[in-house]
Amino acid sequence: MAELDNPNVMSNLITFLSSLIQKVAESNDLNCGFQAQKISVFHGLTRPTISIQSYLHRIYKYANCSPSCFIVAYVYLDRFSQRQPSLPINSFNVHRLLITSVMVAAKFMDDMFYNNAFYAKVGGISTTEMNFLEVDFLFGLGFHLNVNPKAFHTYYSYLQRQMMMMLQPPPPSTAPESSIESTLKVHLCFSDEESTSHQKEQLAV
């Protein structure tokens, strides 16, 4: 999409996307004591000191991948969360999931892309670890990498709507919040085969 080539649009998108993912991670941090979770190669021993927003902007600055890769990476993260419910996105794994999802998206989407060693340097990890993360991520996705135009538009439109809502002051209302508005869920569940009603949202933050 042409508007993604606008640096200002992408900067706002990266900022909002990082905010969205941070809310999901924080929600899952709170729920970690109430649901079974596995430890994976994505799980760090400590929380990284760099914020999700700074980390995602760093990837955007140095990866030089096409802007669409960040939308596709978001799709991949959602698919991963749906297929791996015992590995929810949290503060201990979110950074490794981000660098891996963007790298895999770039390899699938772009004609030219950097190798694993470069992405490892951008992400602050070793090349060996980057290789392991890529393999685990691909298996976690079931190698379901294709994102059709309808699915891409669905995810991108959702992000656009949420950004517009964030920038506009909420109208006064006395109506009770809906379950989607009042509850943080684990992931944003869009089906790639869904038609115009893409309201099958299980993550709305």
pLDDT band at residue 1 under the 50/70/90 scheme: low
Q: Is 185 part of a structural domain of the chain?
A: no
Q: Is 27 part of a structural domain of the chain?
A: yes
Q: Is 198 part of a structural domain of the chain?
A: no
Domain CATH code at residue 76: 1.10.472.10
* Residues 160, 131: Cα–Cα separation, whole Å: 33
The pLDDT of residue 164: 77
Q: Is 205 part of a structural domain of the chain?
A: no
pLDDT band at residue 140 under the 50/70/90 scheme: very high
Domain of residue 104, residue span: 7-166
Q: Is 201 part of a structural domain of the chain?
A: no
Give the count of beta carbons closer than 10 Å to the beta carbon of residue 17. 23
SS3 179: helix
> What are the helix (H) ranges across 64-175?
68-83, 94-109, 116-123, 127-140, 149-167
Closest CA to 96 of 44, 46, 25: 44
Q: Is 16 part of a structural domain of the chain?
A: yes
Q: Is 153 part of a structural domain of the chain?
A: yes
Give the count of beta carbons closer than 10 Å to the beta carbon of residue 91. 17
Question: Is the pLDDT assigned to residue 186 strictly greater than 60?
Answer: no
Q: Is 40 part of a structural domain of the chain?
A: yes
Give the tens place of pLDDT for each residue, 67-104.
899 999 999 999 998 998 888 888 889 999 999 999 99
- Listed in sequence order, the residues at least 6 apart from 195 whose beta carbon sits closer than 8 Å to its beta carbon are none
Provide the number of structural domains found in the chain.
1
Closest CA to 97 of 54, 133, 66: 133
The pLDDT of residue 163: 75
The pLDDT of residue 177: 39
